[in-house]
Amino acid sequence: MSKQFDSKKEAALTLKKFYSALGNNTGNTGTPETIDYKSKYNLLLKRFRELEKVFDFHRGLIQNISSGLVTINMQAEITFMNRAALRTFGYEYLGTQGMPVSSLFADRNEAASIVDTVLKQQKMVESKEVHFITKSGEVFPVGFTTSLLKEPEGNQVAGVLFVFKDISDTTNLRHQIERMDRLATLGELSAGIAHEIRNPLAGIKSSAQVLEESFSPGDFRAQLASRIVKEIDRSNELLKRFFNFARPSKPLQDWHNVEMILDGVYLLMAPRFKKKNISFKKDFAESLPQVYVDESQIEQVILNLFLNAVDAMPDGGSISVKTALQNIHDASTDTLKEQKIVVTIADTGRGIPPEKKEKIFNPFYTSKNDGVGLGLSISSRLLEENGGSITVESELGKGAIFSIFLPVTKEIL
């Protein structure tokens, strides 16, 4: 497309030069022909300027539009990418000419079938969701639509135009909503059950206590009764967690120093780290803004992450905690959208299999014999209530990195 622009502009420029030369050479003769040439030249110059304006207008439109535009020829090679597309993929304009369009797709088989649809069958594709891959290998979801490009003269198809939009934000939001929905349903359910179980448990406990006292301390029946009391206490503890999960108290947000929160939780965990042969490293960024959160809820989140990291390293290892300020840009306009504090907690444990990465945030998903599977779902819920979020990266056998994002402004909620 840009080539077409350029060649037309070039032709117009040559014409301009030609007439300009003609005008200068004949300017002094004063013959009627000269006057005719001059008026023709002026008319052409005017037309040229009008055309130039139209070119510039269209070029500006294409380059400044926030959607990504990619055109390909009949050989499925890229002929043009606009600025938004280049920025999204991390390519330079010149490097993209002639590149196969399939290299933009994360899944090459899917790319082949799309190329077949748009080029061979010449069918349009509308609002299709696929994954693209950037130059540096980052995969991101997009929604795209295609249309056929016709030769300027005649009706022959010259290629295809892809118009796409990065839908990472929408996709994340959709996943979050699905997760919240599941949590809410489960929350209501467990609140009801927990409530119903608590009352009879209280009755069993007091009866068992009476029994325990009615036998002499060494009697095996007293020991059995005491065991009943202990097991009931354990169940009550579990029910308390259900309640927390079902109805987390509304966050009492205020300004807090994120380092102090982390140091506080570390102090609690330090004896356990030592016992399990786990070293602890911290790398806190300087002069970070304060976070606007419920301190005890964020402490609970960090505690859950530390406990999981310890569980993932039965033979010891290390936990590294980092803090940083993250500037979040709007992908299409490249302007600063918001700031968050990101706390990353990395361990050197067994890691998480890729197919389990989404599941670990689901309530009751656990891979542990003695796990309940609520730690991460409660954490993700608490973070959402505080205007934050959580993500995970992991390589099996090498460890896991959990990142939590905390708000530094009040407005986000």
Ligand X SMILES: Nc1ncnc2c1ncn2[C@@H]1O[C@H](COP(=O)(O)OP(=O)(O)OP(=O)(O)O)[C@@H](O)[C@H]1O
Cβ proximity to ligand X: between 197 and 372 the closer is 372
What is the C-alpha to C-alpha distance for residues 56 and 52, in angstroms, rounded to an integer?
6
φ, ψ for residue 262, nearest 5 deg: -65, -45
Nearer to ligand X, 245 or 292 (CB): 245
Q: Which of residues 304-333 bind Mg ion (CB under 5 A)?
A: 308
Site membership for ligand X, residue 130 (CB under 6 A): no
Query: Are the C-beta atoms of residues 320 and 283 closer than 8 Å to each other?
Result: yes
The contact mask relative to ligand X for 221-260 (x = CB under 6 A, - = no) is ----------------------------------------
Segment interacting with Mg ion, rule: CB under 5 A, options 265-273, 285-293, 350-358, 372-380 = 372-380
Report if residue 400 touches ligand X, rule: CB under 6 A: yes
Instruction: Note whether 375 binds Mg ion by CB under 5 A.
Output: yes
Residue that the structure tokens 């029910």 belong to: 239
Phi, psi of 168 (to 5 degrees): -55, -45
| Residue 337, both tokens | 């959208």
Among 146, 308, 386, 403, binds ligand X (CB under 6 A): 308
The count of C-alpha atoms lying within 13 angstroms of the C-alpha of 181, restricted to the half-sphere facing its C-beta, is 6
Q: In whole angstroms, give the CA distance from residue 250 to residue 10.
A: 66
The answer to whether residue 371 forms part of the interface with ligand X (CB under 6 A) is yes
| Radius of gyration over every alpha carbon of the chain, rounded to an integer in angstroms | 33
The Cα–Cα gap between 172 and 169 comes to 5
Distances (CA, A) of 208 to 199, 205, 237, 238: 15, 5, 18, 19
Tokens of 77: 């090679």
Residue closer to Mg ion by CB (options 107, 393) is 393
Question: Does 368 participate in binding ligand X (rule CB under 6 A)?
Answer: yes
**Exposure of 184 in the CB half-sphere (CA atoms within 13 A):** 8
Whether the Cβ atoms of residue 8 and residue 56 lie closer than 8 Å to each other: no
Using the contact rule CB under 6 A, the part of the chain among 186-194, 196-204, 219-227, 304-312 near ligand X is 304-312
- Least distance in angstroms from the C-beta of 373 to ligand X: 4
Q: Which residue's beta carbon is nearest to the bound ligand X?
A: 375
Give strand pairing partners of 166.
142
DSSP states along 118-173: IIIS-----SEEEEEE-TTS-EEEEEEEEEEEEPSSSS-EEEEEEEEEE-HHHHHH
Q: Name the DSSP class of 337.
A: E
Give which of ligand X, Mg ion, none residue 323 binds (C-beta under 5 to 8 Å, depending on kind): none
With CB under 6 A as the contact rule, the residue among 78, 350, 387, 407 that binds ligand X is 350
- Binding segment for ligand X (CB under 6 A), chosen from 3-11, 132-140, 174-182, 375-383, is 375-383
Place of tokens 């936990």: 319
Among 349, 387, 388, 407, binds ligand X (CB under 6 A): 349
Site map 180..219 versus ligand X, x via CB under 6 A: ----------------------------------------
Residue in 360, 378, 391, 372 with CA at minimum distance from that of residue 187: 378
Q: Which is nearer to ligand X, 295 or 347 (CB)?
A: 347
340 or 350: CB nearest ligand X: 350
Q: Shortest distance, CB of residue 204 to ligand X, whole angstroms? A: 24
- Which listed option, ligand X, Mg ion, none, makes contact with residue 368 (CB within 5 to 8 Å by class)? ligand X
- Check residue 375 for interaction with ligand X (CB under 6 A): yes
Under the rule (CB under 5 A), what is the footprint of Mg ion? Answer: 308, 375
Under the rule (CB under 6 A), what is the footprint of ligand X? Answer: 304, 308-309, 312, 347, 349-352, 360, 365-368, 371-377, 400
